[in-house]
Chain A
Amino acid sequence: GAVVSQHPSRVICKSGTSVKIECRSLDFQATTMFWYRQFPKQSLMLMATSNEGSKATYEQGVEKDKFLINHASLTLSTLTVTSAHPEDSSFYICSARDPRLTSGRPSETQYFGPGTRLLVL
């Protein structure tokens, strides 16, 4: 089955530094990737939709300059948390939509990465 990877799986950084998280689709080309964050005991919150070759679409309340998203290729999207602060500590998850046809129709399957746990000290 399709696999989506994330790197790093865990990162600890000092306040004020920037952290880059990579999301890769390993066996399919993902024109659309999604970035989520999840706080403890809460469900996933969509941060932005990343489309290859174009600007990301951010959800209301998510700062574009704070969370930089780049989808430079069909298999890679990156999320950079700039000038990280302790309140940015969270679990960041990406997903990639599989665009391949299933039974002649566009697939709506999304595959999720394993997540990146960010701790900002």
Chain B
Amino acid sequence: KNEVEQSPQNLTAQEGEFITINCSYSVGISALHWLQQHPGGGIVSLFMLSSGKKKHGRLIATINIQEKHSSLHITASHPRDSAVYICAVRETSGSRLTFGEGTQLTVNP
């Protein structure tokens, strides 16, 4: 069992739809990251969370430390949101990140 699991693996949506990507982890963490990787490969850090909720534009990230679960929401999705979204956790024991397998999101016009 992976320490970080994401669901779904693949997600196709129509433009304008509300999207949710989930991340569950099994270790104690000091922070959780949501990353976006576009087809060219470059990675952008979207959020870093240790508790509660953060919002940036159309993106919202939440985390429930007790349940070891985080969600990334995209409101009013757009084709340019098409990318791989990766959840990564920083374990309390160190500085390394452990990555989920990623969720491939495709938003069709």
- Asked whether B101 is an interface residue with its Cβ less than 8 Å from the other chain, the reply is yes
A112 touches B100 (CB 8 A): no
B97 touches A43 (CB 8 A): no
B95 touches A49 (CB 8 A): yes
A108 touches B41 (CB 8 A): no
B97 touches A110 (CB 8 A): yes
Q: Please indicate the chain A residues that have their CB under 8 angstroms from the CB of B30 in the complex.
A: 108
A112 touches B43 (CB 8 A): yes
Q: Please indicate the chain B residues that have their CB under 8 angstroms from the CB of A109 in the complex.
A: 45, 48
The CA of A75 and the CA of B95, in the complex, are separated in Å by 19
Residues of B within 8 A of A (CB-CB), count: 21
With A93-B43, A108-B90, A109-B45 in contact, do A46 and B96 touch (Cβ < 8 Å)? yes
The CA of A115 and the CA of B96, in the complex, are separated in Å by 18
- Asked whether A28 is an interface residue with its Cβ less than 8 Å from the other chain, the reply is no
B99 touches A108 (CB 8 A): no
A115 touches B43 (CB 8 A): yes
With A49-B95, A49-B96 in contact, do A42 and B45 touch (Cβ < 8 Å)? no
With A32-B95, A108-B30, A110-B97 in contact, do A43 and B102 touch (Cβ < 8 Å)? yes
B95 touches A112 (CB 8 A): no
B interface residues with partner A (beta carbon < 8 Å): 30-31, 33, 35, 40-45, 48, 86, 88, 90, 95-97, 99-102
**Complex A-B, nearest 9 residue pairs according to Cβ-Cβ distance, in ascending order:** A112-B43, A114-B42, A115-B41, A43-B99, A108-B31, A44-B99, A43-B101, A43-B102, A91-B41
Show 11 A/B contacts (Cβ-Cβ < 8 Å), sorted by A.
Answer: A46-B96, A49-B96, A91-B41, A93-B41, A108-B31, A108-B90, A109-B48, A112-B44, A114-B40, A114-B43, A115-B41
